[in-house]
């Protein structure tokens, strides 16, 4: 995507609702700086910020600059130069986006813009998504004309359950076409997530084994070292399941498990991902209770600090039963995956930052090698897709241990992106923005995929809404004991973060 061979995005006005907010200054502006620097956008990109705060564009620029000064983003001169170029093309309209007046001003601005292309980015609390789309439409701002596009990009969370996601989709689709709607999942901007498709579909030796004849089970982990911190209000109403599973973890799962698409165009890929997510087994209440565990971190030391318990976090109810960890065993009802469990887990305040997909292959059917005390079993092959940190791919195989005695030894063939490529400092939004600007929806979620994801987690939401408390786990651990039981009762174990190459290296 990035790099010198890619043509710059077409001219457009990028309208950011929520321009004075946290996401804009922390991620959107640094992304646009990176894109300006690498030539992914040219001087015909114009930015129009919308916010309720009064003041002119100088107020907004000062906000951005004071953030950039402290973030360490501007330490190299190329970025500073890119910012100087970009800042000249930023405008601001102060107004309340729940009222019509601001849309009239946006219409006026766009009518005087050098070209009619526009992408509207909703960097606003989710309760405003439907309203803004409705008002844009009522003011004729999403009408496309020949040669001029109008697009809407929507941040997460997309709904808070199946019913609300359906309602939001229906509302958006009554004002814009699916081809104009870009639902963001920032995991899809990660290089290693995009690499899952290449790993599978560019390598015969991998894809040929990619089914229940050879794969024993799949683990998807998104462990975070960070705790809930200052996000108590948002998090207590959300929890680990809603925050991470139907979006980020299911995107990883879909990439890993989908059928090969007929082509790499957006619709073919999204068709396959949608089909896969619709094949996730929808559990009964009893099955949901058996196949899901949840936890909340207690007080304790984490990363050199003394972390208060989740329930003592600012803006979290002391008797909260929101989970900060979730573990699931899911099944995909397709010919390819019948009988292969997918174990998923994610949580905050855990032992390490480690997002990975671990594919464990079946044991060889018959092994003549003598077993020895230190290794009574021949370990299965594993393919580890290290999403972050230290992006890479590891293949665990057995070799002969040197010496006269025939012994096997496990070794890991490690590939790290940073060892081979100059990936630079990216926010992860660069490829998403580029595709939004050029009109490629591959890295965005389609309505059916989102709804299928929510349908698969709804039984767990319903179950936990009945009451009960998450199990406690110590900060710096890998979650509650029930998470180990979930997988160990099947005779398997979680891949340990200390086994991850990134952690081994550190
Ligand atoms: N922050 C992050 O790291 C991430 C955020 N997201 C998502 O991005 C979205 C934005 O998040 P974030 O930036 O943190 O939120 P913020 O609350 O920081 O930003 C929202 C902005 O919208 C402004 N605003 C609120 N109401 C109005 C209104 N009626 N008219 C005009 N402006 C208004 C706010 O102004 P004021 O503050 O003055 O009220 C604020 O500047 C959310 O959907 C969030 O879930 C997703 C991933 C990461
Ligand atoms: O969307 C979210 O993602 C982050 C994790 O993203 P990462 O790119 O840092 O791995 C998570 O911390 C946050 O709670 C969630 O809202």
Domain containing 262 — which CATH number?
3.30.360.10
At 204 the pLDDT is 96
Same domain, 199 and 277: yes
Q: Is residue 424 part of a domain?
A: no
Least confident of 69-73, 271-275, 436-440, 479-483: 69-73
Indicate whether 219 and 109 sit together in one domain. no
Is 427 within a domain?
A: no
Which ligand has the shortest distance to the CA of 54? Answer: 1
Q: Considering its fold, how many domains does the chain have in total?
A: 2
In a domain, 149, yes or no: yes
| pLDDT tens column, 17-32 | 999 999 999 999 999 9
Residue 463 has pLDDT above 70, yes or no: yes
For the stretch 74-96, pLDDT in tens is 778 999 999 999 999 999 999 99
Residue 5: pLDDT over 80: no
Q: What does the pLDDT average to over 324-344? A: 98
Q: 133 and 202, same structural domain?
A: no
What residues pair up with 93 in beta bridges, in sequence order?
50
Tell me the CATH number at 126: 3.40.50.720
For residues 279-297, give the mean pLDDT.
98
Average pLDDT, the chain: 93
State which of 155, 224, 297, 387 you would mutate to test the pocket of ligand 2, scoring each by most atoms of that ligand within 8 A of its C-beta. Answer: 224
Residue 125 maps to a domain? yes
147 & 210 share domain: no
Q: Same domain for 117 and 25?
A: yes
Tokens of 113: 């813009």
What is the three-class DSSP state of 182?
strand
Q: Which one of the ligands is nearest to 132 CA? A: 1
Domain boundaries, position 146: 12-155
Residue of minimum CA distance from atom 3 in ligand 2: 244
Residues 132-172 have pLDDT tens digits of 999 999 999 999 988 899 999 999 999 999 999 999 999 99
The residue whose C-alpha atom lies closest to atom 48 belonging to ligand 1 is 23
2 assigned to some structural domain: no
Cβ of 21 closer than 6 Å to ligand 1, yes or no, is: yes
In the reported structure, the alpha carbon of residue 23 is separated from the centroid of ligand 1 by a whole-number distance in angstroms of 7
pLDDT at 497 exceeding the cut of 80 = no
pLDDT at 432: 97
Query: Looking at residue 506, what is its pLDDT?
Result: 32
Tell me how far the alpha carbon of residue 17 lies from the centroid of ligand 1, in angstroms.
8
Worst-scoring range by mean pLDDT, 17-21, 323-327, 405-409, 463-467? Answer: 405-409
Which ligand lies nearest to the CA atom of residue 189 in the structure? 2
Percent of the chain with pLDDT over 70: 96
Is 49 near ligand 1, meaning CB less than 6 Å away? no
- The C-alpha atoms of residue 315 and residue 427 are separated, in whole angstroms, by 28
Same domain, 335 and 469: yes
Q: What share of the chain is helix, strand, coil (3-state, %, to 5)?
A: 40, 20, 40
In a domain? residue 415: no
Q: Which two tokens stand for residue 186?
A: 């920032």
Ligand nearest to the CA of 243: 2
- Strand order of the sheet with strand 408-416? 408-416, 392-400, 382-388, 354-361, 215-223, 342-347, 325-330, 292-297, 471-473
3-class SS letters over 103-150:
HHHHHHHHHHCCCCCEEEEECCCHHHHHHHHHHHHHCCCCCCECCECE
What are the residues facing 183 on neighbouring strands? 154, 445
The angle subtended at Cα 329 by Cα 279 and Cα 238, nearest 5°, is: 90
Residue 221 Cα to ligand 1 middle (Å):
28
96, two tokens: 């309340």
List all residues 6 or more positions away from 61 whose beta carbon is below 8 Å from its beta carbon.
87, 90
- Using DSSP's 3-state secondary structure scheme, residue 324 falls into coil
**Which residue has a Cα nearest atom 19 of ligand 1?**
21
Q: Which residues line ligand 2 (CB under 6 A)?
A: 156, 186, 224, 243, 355
The radius of gyration of the chain from alpha carbons, rounded to an integer in Å, stands at 24
Instruction: Give pLDDT, residue 407.
Output: 83
Atom 8 (ligand 2) nearest CA: 187
Confidence at residue 91, expressed as pLDDT on a 0 to 100 scale: 97
pLDDT at residue 189 in the model: 93
Instruction: Name, of 312-326, 353-367, 422-436, the range with top average pLDDT.
Output: 312-326
Bridge partners of 90, per DSSP, are 47
- Cα 348 from Cα 117, distance rounded (Å): 40
CA distance 20 to 92: 10
What confidence score (pLDDT) does residue 373 get? 62
The answer on 73 and 201 residing in a single domain is: no
Do 210 and 283 lie in one domain? The reply is yes
Q: Model's pTM, two decimal places?
A: 0.94
Q: What is the mean pLDDT of residues 239-243?
A: 97
Q: How confident is the model at residue 376 (pLDDT cuts 50, 70, 90)?
A: low
Pairing of strands 392-400, 382-388: antiparallel
Q: Are residues 255 and 306 in the same domain?
A: yes
Shortest-distance atom of ligand 1 to CA 98: 29
Whole-complex ipTM: 0.97
Q: How far apart are CA 304 and CA 469, in angstroms?
A: 28
Token pair belonging to 481: 């004991």
Q: Evaluate: CB of 131 within 6 angstroms of ligand 1.
A: no
* pLDDT of 450 strictly over 60: yes
In the prediction, which pLDDT does 95 show?
A: 96
Number of other CB atoms surrounding residue 162 within 10 Å:
20
Q: Measure 7 CA to ligand 2 centroid, in angstroms.
A: 30
Please give the pLDDT value at position 2: 46
User: What are the backbone dihedrals phi and psi of residue 161, each rounded to the nearest 5 degrees, phi first?
Assistant: -165, -175
Residue 237 and residue 104 share a domain? no
Instruction: Report which protein residue has its CA nearest ligand 2's atom 4.
Output: 244
| Closest approach atom of ligand 2 to CA 234 | 16
Could you write out the DSSP letters of every residue in 349-376?
A: SBSS-EEEEEEEEPPPS---SPPBTTBS
Residue 497 beta carbon below 6 angstroms from any ligand 1 atom: no
- In angstroms, what is the span from residue 393 Cα to ligand 2's centroid? 21
State residue 504's pLDDT score. Answer: 41
pLDDT of residue 499: 59
Same domain, 347 and 464: yes
Dist. CA 257–CA 278, nearest whole Å:
12
DSSP class of 12: E
**Is the domain of 210 the same as that of 322?**
yes
Measured in angstroms, how far is the CA atom of residue 252 from the centroid of ligand 2? Answer: 14
Other CB atoms within a 10 A radius of the CB of residue 72 amount to: 8
> Does the residue 43 lie in any domain?
yes
Q: Indicate whether residue 23 lines ligand 1 (CB < 6 A).
A: yes
Owner of token pair 């077409």: 10
Residue 503 pLDDT exceeds 80: no
In angstroms, the CA 380 to CA 361 distance is 6
The answer to whether the beta carbons of residues 379 and 358 sit under 8 Å apart is no
Q: Which pLDDT score, from 0 to 100, does residue 355 have?
A: 97
- pLDDT confidence band for 260 (50 / 70 / 90): very high
Instruction: Kindly list the catalytic residues.
Output: 248
Q: Is 393 helix (H, G, I), strand (E, B) or coil?
A: strand
In a domain, 5, yes or no: no
């Amino acid at each position: 995507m990035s790099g010198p061979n890619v043509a710059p995005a077409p001219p457009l006005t990028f309208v950011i609702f929520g321009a004075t907010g946290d996401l804009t200054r922390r991620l959107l502006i640094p992304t646009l700086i990176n894109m300006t620097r690498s030539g992914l956008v040219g001087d015909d990109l114009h930015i129009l910020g919308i916010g309720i705060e009064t003041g002119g564009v100088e107020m907004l620029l000062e906000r951005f600059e004071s953030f950039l000064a402290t973030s360490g983003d501007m330490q190299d001169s190329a970025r500073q130069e890119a910012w100087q170029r970009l800042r000249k093309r930023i405008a601001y309209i102060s107004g309340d986006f729940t009222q019509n007046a601001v849309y009239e001003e946006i219409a006026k601005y766009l009518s005087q813009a050098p070209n009619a292309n526009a992408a509207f980015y909703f960097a606003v609390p989710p309760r405003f998504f439907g309203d803004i789309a409705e008002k844009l439409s009522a003011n004729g701002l999403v009408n496309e004309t020949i040669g001029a596009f109008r697009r809407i990009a929507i941040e997460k969370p997309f709904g808070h359950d199946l019913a609300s996601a359906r309602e939001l989709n229906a509302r958006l689709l009554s004002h814009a076409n699916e081809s104009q709607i870009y639902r963001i999942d920032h995991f899809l901007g990660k290089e290693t997530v995009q690499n899952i498709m290449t790993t599978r579909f560019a390598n015969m030796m991998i894809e040929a084994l990619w089914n229940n004849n050879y794969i024993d089970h799949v683990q998807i982990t998104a462990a975070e070292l960070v705790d809930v911190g200052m996000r108590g209000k948002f998090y207590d109403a959300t929890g680990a399941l809603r925050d991470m599973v139907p979006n980020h973890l299911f995107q990883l799962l879909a990439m890993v498990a989908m059928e090969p698409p007929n082509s790499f165009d957006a619709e073919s890929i999204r068709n396959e991902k949608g089909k896969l997510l619709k094949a996730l087994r929808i559990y009964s209440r009893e099955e949901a209770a058996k196949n899901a565990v949840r936890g909340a971190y207690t007080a304790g030391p984490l990363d050199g600090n003394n972390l208060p318990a989740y329930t003592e976090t600012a803006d979290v109810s002391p008797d909260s039963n929101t989970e900060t960890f979730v573990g699931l065993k899911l099944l995909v009802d397709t010919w390819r995956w019948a009988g292969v469990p997918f174990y998923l887990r994610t949580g905050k305040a855990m032992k390490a930052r480690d997002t990975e997909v671990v594919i464990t292959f079946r044991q060889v059917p018959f092994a003549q090698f003598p077993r020895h005390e230190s290794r009574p079993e021949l370990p299965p092959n594993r393919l580890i897709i290290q999403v972050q940190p230290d992006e890479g791919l590891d293949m665990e195989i057995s070799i002969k241990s040197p010496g006269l005695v025939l012994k096997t030894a496990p070794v890991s063939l490690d590939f790290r992106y940073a060892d081979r490529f100059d990936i630079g400092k990216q926010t992860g939004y660069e490829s998403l923005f580029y595709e939004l600007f050029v009109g490629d929806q591959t890295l965005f979620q389609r309505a059916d995929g989102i709804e299928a994801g929510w349908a698969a987690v709804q039984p767990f939401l319903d179950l936990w809404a009945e009451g009960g408390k998450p199990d406690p786990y110590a900060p710096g651990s890998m979650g509650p004991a029930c998470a180990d039981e979930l997988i160990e009762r099947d005779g398997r174990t979680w891949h340990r973060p200390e086994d991850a190459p990134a952690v081994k290296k550190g």
